[in-house]
Structure 1
Amino acid sequence: MKTKRAWIVAFATIFAGISLALVQNKVAPCMTTLMGAFNIDMATAGWLSSLFSLVGIVMAIPASIVLNKLGPKKGGIVALACAILGSLIGVFTDSVPVLMASRIVEGVGVGLMSVIGPSLIAMWFPEAKRGLPMSIWAAYQMGAQAVMFFLGAVLTTSFGWQGVWWFGLVACVVAFVLYVLCVKSPRPEDSYADVESEDVSIVEGMKSPSAWVLSLATMLFCIGCFGFVNWIATCWAQTFSWDEGQANMWVGYFSIFGVIAAVVIGALLNHVKNRKLFGVAALVAYGVASLVGMFMDNPSFLIGFVIVYGFVDAGFPCVLWTMAAQTVKKPELAGVALGVVSIGFNVGILLGPPIIGAVVEAAGWHAGAIAICGACVLGAVALLFTKLYSADDVPVQEVPEAEPTAA
């Protein structure tokens, strides 16, 4: 019965994450229409997306405080309410500053849920069983991107840019209802990460070196990953003499196979003893895949590449969210650890596209691929120095179970 309840909570939480990610990713599919409707340039339009990363960085630690003080249910309700309010403001405005402000409100919701979601899963699932639910959680961004890539153009053609806004709004309303009805915290004695405990010290959690090391590895991965995804369509369009729409279609397939891969990897992670080394291998594999993708000069290899890419793209995020709660010595500090990791996640998203774009502009696509691979390899090295702790303050994977000290 407890396992059934845990999965009900997990799926309601994951759907909330997907709905918020739909709101986050709604700009790209209607970018051209937005630019025309508001008479804005590309730089201004780009901020409609980049604002989320900035808000995510600012909100990472405050989200941990909200999680501890309000609890995951009330905190999640606030997150969804922010997305609903921001979407309503945005859909009815014809002012660029108001639209920007609405995106900040939505970003607060996404920032809160990025910490609350995995914390809820950590509360309901023991470390050995977190692989699958955390991996499904890791796929929520990919799932939302796939939906927006394939529905965004249709919605924009039929209803204008507001159609995409309404789509995200409706998803958030449905998620809000499900969240209110289905989500609750386990009893303290049954919680595997009691992030609501009065003993939670935000400062103590932030002092965990391991959480910051994992955050560094995450930032390096996101610099590479988001640099690759942001520019690969342009790379293929130039290399294969395609139009932008054809190249974007192939990038859209990344997300579909990524979601499938996340479920497969999640089931596998429940049986992997050394998840850290699995993550190291996944980071190196992503670096190699980026080289193949940007060095590719024959589109006939794309079908195989897209399938393989889905697995290497999902690999590290699945490991990341599964391990993040174990980078602190006390389970109740899991929310703070997730906040710290979220900082690295959002910094990488913010820096990746401009850094890789600058490298490509200066030295070409092959240099960009090497830079992406280099970032991932550095991330793998950082991950090797990440210490993991079990729920009873015993480090996992590093020493025998009888040892009381960290690896």
Structure 2
Amino acid sequence: MTAAVSTQDARTDWLAVSVVVASGIVAALQVGKAAIAMPLVQAEFGLDLAALGWLASIFAVLGMVGGIPVGTLAIALGARNVLLLGLLAVAVGAFLGAAALRFPMLLASRVVEGLGFLLIIIAGPAILQRVASPDRRDLAMAVWSCFMPTGIALAMLAGLWLTDWRMIWQVTGVLAVIAIVLTVLIVPRSDSGATPSWIALAGDAGAALSARGPLLLALTFALYALMFFALFSFLPVLLMQRMQVSLATAGLLSALATIGNIAGNLIAGLLLSRGVGRVKLIIAASLAMGLCGIGIFLGLLPDTATFLLCVLFAAAGGLIPATLLASAPLAAPAARLLPVVVGLMMQGSNLGQVVGPVAIGGIIEALGWPSAAGLVGAAALLAMLTALGLRSSLRRTA
């Protein structure tokens, strides 16, 4: 009887985890759909590339400034309520965007979607920490960390069939509505006590931000994002120049490399659940990313070997976000402050997403592709050093 109840509880846990991860994927679809729809939007509204870039970059800008406030909001309202609010914002933004007659309205809808995206990705880990059993939390966090590459890849694939960008917006809005229904039905409510005052929340948030562990997690996430997007923002161009392939082939190869990142996230969860040290994983993954990045940008290897380095770069990189997210509960000064810590980490991640492509693009433009190897190598070294600093900041063995 006890074994049967335990099995049922495990199924319930994973059903709730699946719904939360699916909500994250819905959020990530909003990122991917902008990239695949850009040519269609540009053709309809007659935009230049600078204006068009805001369709995607607005998410990173919101993430850079809104992570900590949203984390505090998740404590005040409850992570489940914030997840539902985020899904609602995504649905409203998507339907508004689909009905947009002019670009300013479309851009305004992207701000609403971006806010929803931020609410979802910060509420998700807090819910997983509550609904997943202790022995499955690391694996649950690893599965969660796959939401971004999975959502972006699905959006890219959907773009092959949905040739009307408004239809893409409508489909993502419907998916957000479905996620709302599933969340209401499956994700359990929190049984926590009274909501703390905003003054108390501000004090708790300050305590989290002044702690060494959360700051190191955010810095490591920023360095990872800098390395990852430094390569993947320019990977199709790099492959076209190095391998002399078409844009379609370069896009397909880039998608295959992204799958390696998903695999890395899942492998991190399995390794963590088997007791592999968190700091060791981050150091090994950072070292591998640095060496692969140097090899890729220097261009010393044949074309096939260079592409395999890209896959290895992505796979090794996937170990880092999964490990960092799984380590957030250990670095938080108190369990209730996890959303603030995750918000700080997301601000670090978005900072890296913005800085990486800009820095690498400028260096490549001025000095050529090989010069980018130095920046990636330096970022990898710094990530290894910040990981060493985490050893004494986690409440359990690292």
When normalised by structure 2's length, the TM-score is: 0.91
Task: Report the Cα offset of residue 53 of structure 1.
Answer: 0.5
Question: Which residue of structure 1 lines up, in the alignment, with residue 248 of structure 2?
Answer: 245
- Say what the alpha-carbon RMSD is for the aligned residues: 2.2
Q: Distance in 2 between matches of 1:183 and 1:330?
A: 23
- SS of 2:275's equivalent in the other structure is coil
Retained in 1: the 8 A contact 2:19–2:182? yes
CA distance in 2, matches of 1:215, 1:335: 13
Is the deviation greater in 292-301 or in 101-110? 292-301
- Give the secondary structure class of the aligned counterpart of 2:390: coil
Instruction: Tell me what 2:177 maps to.
Output: 173
Aligned partner (choices 354, 357, 364) of residue 360 of structure 1: 364
1:87 aligns with 2:91: no
* 2:323 is aligned with 1:316: no
Q: How does 1:181-260 map to 2 (within 5 A)?
A: 181-185=185-189, 187-188=191-192, 201-260=204-263
Partners of 2:97 and 2:143 in 1: how far apart? 30
Partner of 2:277: 274
Letter in structure 2 aligned against 1:223: L
Find the aligned partners of 1:98 and 1:195 in 2 and give their Cα distance.
39
| Identical-pair percentage | 24
Aligned residue type for 1:262: N
1:117 aligns with 2:124: yes
CA distance 1:388–1:123, change in 2 (3 Å): farther
Relative to 1, partners in 2 of residues 1:304 and 1:135: Cα closer, same or farther, differing over 3 Å? Answer: same
Does 1:377 find its partner at 2:381?
yes
The amino acid that maps onto 1:365 is: W
Q: Match for residue 164 of structure 1?
A: 168
CA distance in 2, matches of 1:310, 1:224: 10
Runs of 5+ unmatched residues, structure 1: 189-193, 399-407
Q: Deviations over 1:157-181 (max 9, x none)?
A: xxx2213212322221221111111
Q: Which residue of 2 aligns with 1:403?
A: none
- Structure 1 residue 16 displacement after superposition: 0.2
Whole-Å Cα distance in 1 between the matches of residues 194 and 62 of structure 2?
Answer: 23
1:78 to 70, 78, 85: 85
Distance 1:94 1:9, change over 3 A: same
Residue 165 of structure 1 aligns to a residue whose secondary structure is: helix
Partner residue of 1:287? 290
Q: Per the alignment, in what secondary structure is the counterpart of residue 218 of structure 1?
A: helix
Give CA deviations for 1:39-66 in whole Å, capped at 9, x if unaligned. Answer: 1111111111000011112221121122
- In structure 2, distance between residues paired with 1:255 and 1:163: 25
C-alpha separation in 1, matches of 2:33 and 2:380: 28
Match of 1:401 in 2: none
Cα separation, partners in 2 of 1:183 and 1:368, compared to 1, 3 Å: same
* Alignment partner of 2:139 out of 132, 135, 157: 132
CA distance in 2, matches of 1:31, 1:338: 30
Separation in structure 2 between the aligned mates of residue 323 and residue 244 of structure 1, nearest angstrom: 39
Per-residue deviation at 1:307?
Answer: 4.5
Gap runs ≥5 in structure 2: 1-7
Pair 1:396-2:396 in alignment: yes
Q: CA deviation at 1:196?
A: 6.7
Query: What residue in structure 2 maps to residue 153 of structure 1?
Result: 160
How many equivalent pairs are there?
A: 386
SS at match of 1:155: coil
2:75 alignment partner, SS class: helix
Decide whether the 8 Å contact of 1:232 with 1:294 is kept in 2.
no
Matched-pair contact (CA < 8 Å) for 1:54–1:346: yes
* CA distance in structure 2 between the aligned counterparts of 1:30 and 1:228, rounded to whole angstroms: 22
Match of 1:62 in 2: 69
Match of 1:25 among 8, 28, 32: 32
Q: What secondary structure sits across from 2:234 in the alignment?
A: helix
Structure 2 counterpart of 1:279, which letter?
Answer: I
Aligned partner of residue 154 in structure 1, secondary structure: coil
Q: Say if 1:388 and 1:396, in contact at 8 Å, map to a contact too.
A: no
1:24 and 1:106 in contact (8 A); partners too: no
